[in-house]
Amino acid sequence: MSAKHREFESEALVHMDVLYGLAMRFTGGDDAAAQDLVQDTLLKAYRAWDRFEPGTNCRAWLTTILRNTFINDLRRRQARPAPVEYDEVAERSVYPQLHEEDAEGGFFDRIVDQEVIRAIEELPEDFRVPLVLADLEGIGYQEISELLEIPVGTVKSRLFRARRRLQQRLYRYAIEMGYIR
């Protein structure tokens, strides 16, 4: 193993699970696409390894490469985006149903992690990608607007709808599982 490979392994490959998790969220749980995305990301990073400054945040550098790789591919695929279907009923806060028994939102903690992951991954792509960028990566509306080449108003709207859909889905799941009445 070369010195470069050894260094890359200890600095970059240790973040593979984080990258793969993020890739799964971006690709909607498509394992093959997520693996390809992580592979492309890490190969790009390996080729550019001499440009990485030791001591800086390697994980942030890698997630930026992954995000840009995914979004470039998304733009190619979405040259003709499919219209998003709206369901107003699914887009209300679940707070009115829950506030009497659970005003602080503790109900979310009772839902198993895997269900949340599945709920994010099953959101339509137009909603899922802004949600992953904003809520998982902490990116602001303006930057998301530039990355996805959509107006800031559309970012807000899609983020709003994504969050509401997610909440409604988790609420229905919690009822089915008997976590709440």
Q: Interface with another protein by CB under 8 A: which residues?
A: 1-2, 4-5, 8-9, 13, 16-18, 20-22, 24-25, 31, 35, 38-39, 42-43, 46, 84, 86, 88, 91-93, 95-96, 98-99, 102-106, 108-109, 113, 116-117, 120, 131-132, 134-136, 138, 140-141, 151, 153-154, 156-161, 163, 166-167
Taking the complex as a whole, the smallest distance from the CB of residue 112 to another protein amounts, in Å, to 9
Task: Report the phi/psi class of residue 112: left, alpha or beta, with left for phi > 0 and alpha for psi in -120 to 50.
Answer: beta
Amino acid, res. 41: T
Contact (Cβ atoms closer than 8 angstroms) between residue 180 and residue 98: yes
Taking the complex as a whole, the smallest distance from the CB of residue 77 to another protein amounts, in Å, to 19
Nearer to another protein, 39 or 72 (CB): 39
Q: Measure the CA–CA gap between 11 and 57, rounded to whole angstroms.
A: 10
Taking the complex as a whole, the smallest distance from the CB of residue 75 to another protein amounts, in Å, to 18
Taking the complex as a whole, the smallest distance from the CB of residue 22 to another protein amounts, in Å, to 7
Nearer to another protein, 67 or 161 (CB): 161
3-state secondary structure of 58: helix
Helices (H), the chain: 3-11, 16-26, 31-47, 58-77, 95-98, 113-121, 125-131, 141-148, 152-176
